[in-house]
Structure 1
Amino acid sequence: MFKTVLPLSAILSLRFFGLFLVLPVLSAYALNLEGSTPFLVGVIVGGYALTQAIFQVPFGVMSDRIGRKPTLLVGLVIFLVGSIICAVSTDIYTLMAGRFLQGAGAIGAVIPAMISDLVHEESRGKAMALMGGTIAISFALAMAAGPVISAYAGVASLFWITAVLSILAMLVLFTKVPTPPRIRHIYHSTTTTADILKDPNLLSMIITNGMQKGLMTVAFVLIPILLLDNAGIFKWEAKELWQVYVPAMFMGLIAMGPAAVFGEKYNKPREIFLLSIVLFIVSFTLMGFATKSWEFVLGVIAFFMAFNMMEPLVQSMISKYAKVHQKGAALGIANGVAYFMTFIGGAVAGIALQYSNRETLAIGLIVITTLWLLWTFKMQNPHRYSHLYISMDHVDMEKLNSLEHEHIAEWYINETENIVAVKYRKDMVEEEAIKAKIVKG
């Protein structure tokens, strides 16, 4: 599994590393460009996510029609062009155009789809967690590297680095990523958006995914602007930003490991999400009302810990909570909401800085995250499933096509490997009983 998933995770992580690299300093940099306002700065910080949300479905359809690899290449090329435009921009509107173009290369849903093609169902949760973990690591490392590099080479250099990383991702795509097998899924139901939103667990995860990403852009509009404001309380210099991001990165990485293990291995994601939301509340309380630098830094550390604890689990849990015929739709809705909230978070933070103050924004965030916490208490931890694999040569296709059981989640055919896979709850139905229903004889 690792040999298959790591190259795809590397592509996504290289892309996100480039996006994350500028986040610690982007708002302060953009605020000094010609034509800038706090609102436009907020739009720029979250702007890539708006076009991500718009182009998620078109890129998903494209990947089904022309293949996953060509679609990933198109997305990476668009991202490369957007990064170059950002690097050469000298005014707020050119930078905004580059950020929108970066997001238009919307490959965020194509890579999870490709992982689903390449990885057996019972390993898919771990694969999604591995993907989330690499993104969380890239997030943490970028937070430490961005302020240091920009202090000595300028913010434009971060966009040039991002462009180089996108070229590196293309090389990984065509040298390390295998061609997916042909999988024929057999679903016995159809799904609608209403079906997904009526499921309290799925709705909780959609809200969680959206809130986590929205709060991320709120934080990265606020942190550099508040710390570097010469008229404010802290009056830091840009070269000092590493002093907040490095300890936050370190603590975020430490928190991520146990959270992923506890959530995946011990099947306790709900508890991890609740703890993370509490840390978000602590974070915005400290950042909103801190009067000393060390108090603000503690708030940033709490934010990083909360974000990194959630990130390895979010995609995995959505795929686990969704019924078989809902997986694609559920992931699409959750990622679309997440990207939209990323944009909204930046815009709201910009408006708040332009027309209000950090204390008022903090109170609003505390109220919203508290409501989120109360909602998440309703979530349940997912069921555990087992898998039965049988050679197609031994399966009676007529019997298989009529296979229905309340504790059998799905069955599908891997045409490349010539096997039938059945996903079922081992605690509710025995393997031999399933074989008796579908084996020839």
Structure 2
Amino acid sequence: MFKKILPLNSIIFLRFFGIFLVLPLISVYASSLESATPLLVGIVVGGYALTQAILQVPFGVWSDRVGRKRVIVFGLVIFLIGSVISYFATDIYTLIFGRLLQGAGAIGSVVSASVSDVTREEERGKAMAIIGASIGMSFALSMIFGSLLGGYFGVDFLFLITALLTIIALYMATKIQNGGKIEIIYPKRGTEVSIFSRKEILYLFASSFLQKGVMAITFVIIPILLTGDFGWEKSELWKLYIPAMIIGLATMPISIKVGEKGGNPKLVFLISAFMFVIVAGILSFGNSENLIITALLLFFPAFNLIEPLIQSMATKFVRADEKGKVLGYTNSFAYFGTFFGGVGAGIFLSFGSVNELGMILIVLSAIWFVWTLTIKNPIPKGNLYLKHSHFLQQKLERGDFEFVDEWYLNVSENLLVVKFDKKKWNEEDLLQKIK
């Protein structure tokens, strides 16, 4: 499995590393360019996410028709062109164009589909977890290297690094294995219930939007405050970002242990939302350098606590045939959150103050916290992977097994996949009952 997903994992790591690399300093850099305004700076910070959100689904559909590898290569070339344009940009409008092009290489959903194509059913969850961990690691490392290298060599140099990394990603794309599209047959359902009518799913969409929106706002406000109000040099910001990121990384194992393995993601989301309330309060009422530093040191743990859980949780509240749709919406809400967070902060700062923006964040974070109190933890489910037989399929179709929550047929791998409630049954007892 690892050999199959290595090129895809490398591509997703390099691409996200390049996107995040400029984040610690991009607002300060954009503010120094010709024709810069707070609104345009906000578009620079979050603009890539708008084109990314809009083009996720079209790229996925296109890859179904012409093949994954071809679309991945095309998306990387677009990302490369956007990075080069951003490197040579000397005014705010050219930089915006470059950032929008970077986002237009929207291959995230295509890479996920490729992972599904080249892995077996029982390997797929682990493969997706590896991809998710790579994205988290790319964010962590980019915060460190972006602030360090950008501070000493300039933010434009970071776009050059991104372009070079994209060339490496293009080479890795040539190593992608072609996997036959897996055919899955789902049994006919009764009345369909829209995913937008399920409160846990709506909550996760909102959480994805708010988490990324707060991230964008934070990276608009804090660098400007530190360099403008408190006299920090851009080359010094790494001294703050590195310890903040280390603290944030240290919370991820706790998040996985409590939320994933412990089966209590609600507690993790509550802690995260409460920490965001505190961060917003500091940004609103804090008037000292130490308080702003404290806000950043709290932001990273709050962000990283739920980062490993959002997509995992989303898939646990839906049927297997709805996972792709739900993950697509979750990603789109995240990208829209990044865009509207960055642009919204820019618009607001054109006529309002950082303190007033912080008060809006307090209200949003408080609503998020209260909303979290109303959701339920997902019921732990297990999967049985059974060799297909018409006899067993007929029994499943008749509903002979009261313990089955859902099932489907993986035609390509000749497997019947049976999902069950782990609180009520264990795998050994179920196998005995089926046989």
* The two structures share one fold, judged by TM-score above 0.5: yes
The structure-2 alpha-carbon separation of the partners of 1:204 and 1:146, relative to structure 1 and needing over 3 Å to count, comes to same
2:152 paired residue number: 152
2:386 corresponding residue in structure 1: 390
Who is 2:394 aligned against?
A: 399
- From the superposition, tell whether residues 136 and 86 of structure 1 become closer, same or farther in structure 2 (CA, over 3 Å): same
8 Å CA contact retained: 2:187, 2:397: no
Contact 2:227–2:234 (CA under 8 A) maintained in structure 1: yes
Distance 2:6 2:371 in 1: 34
> Relative to 1, partners in 2 of residues 1:138 and 1:73: Cα closer, same or farther, differing over 3 Å?
same
Counterpart CA distance in 2 for 1:369 and 1:77 is 38
1:165-210 CA distance string (max 9 Å, x none): 11222222332x4433542222235799971111111111111111
Aligned residue type for 2:320: V
Q: Residues 135-157 of structure 1, C-alpha deviation per residue, up to 9 Å, x if partnerless?
A: 22211211111122122221111
> Aligned equivalents of 2:327 and 2:145: distance in 1?
31
Larger mean Cα displacement after TM superposition, 339-348 or 143-152: 143-152
Q: Which residue of 2 aligns with 1:195?
A: 194
Q: Quick check: 1:263 aligned with 2:259?
A: yes
Matched residue SS, 1:342? helix
Aligned partner of 1:78 in structure 2 is 78
- For 1:321 and 1:181, the matched residues in 2 are separated by 28
Distance across 1 between alignment mates of 2:135 and 2:48: 17
Identity %: 44
Deviation of the 1:253 alpha carbon: 0.9
Q: CA deviation at 1:88?
A: 0.7
Amino acid at match of 2:195: I
Question: Are the structure 2 counterparts of residues 208 and 238 from structure 1 closer, same or farther at C-alpha, using a change threshold of 3 Å?
Answer: same
Conserved? CA contact 1:133–1:311, under 8 Å: no
Whole-Å separation in 1 of the counterparts to 2:125 and 2:393: 31
1:253 equivalent to 2:242? Answer no
Give secondary structure in 2 for the equivalent of 1:377. Answer: helix
Q: Check conservation: 1:391, 1:420, Cα contact below 8 A.
A: yes
Q: Which residue of 1 aligns with 2:209?
A: 210
Partner Cα distance (1:265, 1:321) in 2:
16
Q: Give how far 1:395 is off.
A: 4.1
- Give the aligned residue type for 1:402: E
Q: Give the match for residue 172 of structure 2.
A: 172
User: Displacement, 1:389?
Assistant: 2.4
Q: 1:129 to 1:282 in 2, by over 3 A?
A: farther
Tell me how far apart the structure 2 counterparts of residues 200 and 428 of structure 1 sit (CA, whole Å).
24
Question: For 1:106 and 1:97, how far apart are their aligned partners in 2?
Answer: 15
What is the alpha-carbon distance in structure 2 between the residues aligned to residue 170 and residue 191 of structure 1? 45
Secondary structure, counterpart of 1:36 in structure 2 = coil
* Partner of residue 377, structure 1: 373
What is residue 405 of structure 2 aligned with on the other side? 408
Q: Against the structure 1 CA distance between its residues 159 and 189, is the aligned structure 2 distance closer, same or farther, given a 3 Å change threshold?
A: farther
SS of residue matched to 1:402: helix
Q: What is the alpha-carbon distance in structure 1 between the residues aligned to residue 191 and residue 93 of structure 2? A: 39
Give the letter aligned to residue 103 of structure 2. G
How big is each residue's C-alpha offset from its partner over 1:87-108, in whole Å with a ceiling of 9 and x where there is no partner? Answer: 1111111111111111111112
Give the equivalent residue in structure 2 for 1:439. none
2-side partners of 1:189 and 1:266: how far apart? 34
Alignment partner of 2:328 out of 332, 340, 343:
332
d(CA) in 1 for partners of 2:259, 2:202: 18
Deviates more, 1:131-140 or 1:343-352: 131-140
Query: Structure 1 294/214 Cα, relative in aligned 2: closer, same or farther at 3 Å?
Result: same
Equivalent runs, 1:29-428 vs 2, <5 Å: 29-120=29-120, 124-175=124-175, 177-188=176-187, 195-229=194-228, 232=229, 234-392=230-388, 394-396=389-391, 399=394, 402=397, 404=399, 407-415=404-412, 417-428=413-424
Amino acid at match of 2:178: T
Do the aligned partners of residues 127 and 275 (structure 1) sit closer, same or farther apart at CA in structure 2, a change above 3 Å counting?
farther
CA distance in 1, matches of 2:332, 2:340: 12
1:12–1:161 Cα change, 3 Å: same
Separation (CA, whole Å) in 2 of partners of 1:370 and 1:254: 25
Report the count of equivalent residues: 430
Distance 1:226 1:65 in 2: 48
1:16: Cα distance to partner?
1.1
Distance between the aligned counterparts of 1:251 and 1:282, measured in 2? Answer: 17
Provide structure 1 residue ranges, at least 5 long, that are not aligned to the other structure: 437-441
Counterpart residue type for residue 268 of structure 2: I
The 1-side partners of 2:220 and 2:193 are apart by 34
Bigger mean CA deviation after superposition, 278-287 or 97-106? 278-287
Q: Is residue 185–residue 411 contact of structure 2 (8 Å, CA) maintained in 1? A: no
CA contact (8 A) 2:8 2:111 kept: yes
Q: Is the 8 A contact 1:183 1:412 kept in 2?
A: no
Which letter maps to 2:145?
A
Distance 1:123 1:298, change over 3 A: farther
> Could you tell me how far apart the structure 1 residues matched to 2:200 and 2:120 are?
24
Amino acid paired to 2:254: P
Q: TM-score, normalised by structure 1?
A: 0.90
1:289–1:121 CA distance, 2 compared to 1 (3 A): farther
Q: Distance in 1 between matches of 2:375 and 2:131?
A: 23
Q: Are the counterparts in 2 of residues 24 and 223 from structure 1 also a CA contact under 8 Å?
A: no
